[in-house]
Amino acid sequence: MQKYDIAAYVWPAYTGDEPRARMFWPEGFGEWQSVKSAAAKYSGHSWPRRPLWGYVNEADPRVMEMEIDAAVEHGVNVFIYDWYWYDRRPFLENCLNDGFLKARNSEKMKFYIMWANHDANNLWDMRLSQSAENVIWGGAVGLPEFKAVCARLIGMYFKRPNYYCIGGAPVFMVYDIQNLISGLGGMAQARSALEWFRGETAKAGFPDLHLQLAARGAVSSNLSGVDGGAGGIPSAGECARLGFQSATHYQFCHFADMDCDYLDILKRAEQEWEAFSGAGSLPYFPHVSVGWDSNPRYRDFKPGVVRNNGPENFGKALALAKKYADSRPSQPALITVNSWNEWTEGSYLEPDDLHGYGYLQAIKDAVLLEGAK
């Protein structure tokens, strides 16, 4: 068994099997449409990039069998699936339900859910993404819908033998804490709802529910196109009082300027990790992003492009994350990575025609080859 759990986020939009996705990507193969259409925006821009595996349907179990084998071979042993609930029902579940969970080798990997409960807007539609402030579906839900979400999570996912647990408790991450609180009616109501969720998880036979927070820094920019402003984000202490037991990040862009050199971002990341853990309220699991460049989602140039983020420097980021994890032996050695396949945000591990298997090899060198010495 490898020493570190390397958990990569999965963006489940690379399939045409979700009917409602056609409003964003009408050609019928998900956000591969934007990747395929991407072009360089300036001299020296490293787009277009092409997937070495092709524009595969990641809701196909045969495809996922191949991807699972590649992930495990290179040290990625956990997938964190972005999970959506819009307009009173799930959205983009196909990649998890029909792809990963039906793959014959899915038991090789663990998985857990990050509820991506942000608002949905025009961002995913290249034709309209320049005006992404238009909300199509709200991500906040009231208590009845929250209870429906929890019942689905417990029944369909938590009970799976390969669902990722800490201390026997299924891990569940919340992306947008502000939307969670506002939808449920405030801090007190959110705490009550999360306590109810914990009780329902216990009724299902688990010792506890491990609530994980997708942390934010005090950044004013919204590079991801879906996040609200930084103001009003609850502190780590407030989140701990809500019942959250740990935190990690989803992307470097949530606390650092992306228009700079990757090595400078790593310095900022180390500061963020230490500052967050120094708050003393929540254990923090170190996060590493591959990079950032969301230009495939836009017709015109979108500022915020990381420089010098090749596999060698990504390996340096992994070394820093390992050092952080090693210095905290009392908590699980979990490192989160953005991401397995965020092609349209320029942050992915899947092999391409620019770096080949370079990012995956960097993980293998850091996690598996070191362990074999």
pLDDT digits (tens, 9 = 90+) for 186-218: 999 999 999 999 999 999 999 999 999 999 875
Q: Tell me if 76 sits within 8 A of 361, measured CB to CB.
A: no
Provide φ and ψ at 251, rounded to 5°.
-155, 145
Q: For position 353, what pLDDT does the model report?
A: 97
Domain ranges of the chain: 5-371
Rounded CA-CA distance 267/273 in Å is 10
Rounded CA-CA distance 239/246 in Å is 9
Encoded amino acid at 320, one letter: L
pLDDT at 230 over 70: no
Tell me the pTM. 0.96
| Count of other CB atoms within 10 angstroms of residue 1 | 5
pLDDT at 219 over 70: no
- Mean pLDDT on 36-65: 96
Q: How confident is the model at residue 280 (pLDDT cuts 50, 70, 90)?
A: low
Q: Tell me if 164 sits within 8 A of 78, measured CB to CB.
A: yes
Q: Tell me if 325 sits within 8 A of 342, measured CB to CB.
A: no
Pairing of strands 135-137, 120-121: antiparallel
Rounded CA-CA distance 72/67 in Å is 9
Q: What rounded mean pLDDT belongs to the chain?
A: 93
Q: pLDDT tens digits for 295-324?
A: 999 999 999 999 999 999 999 999 999 999
Both structure tokens of 68: 């699972």
Q: For position 218, what pLDDT does the model report?
A: 57
Residue 156 buriedness (CB in 10 A; 0-12 / 13-18 / 19+) = middle
Q: Which fold has domain 5-371?
A: TIM Barrel (3.20.20)
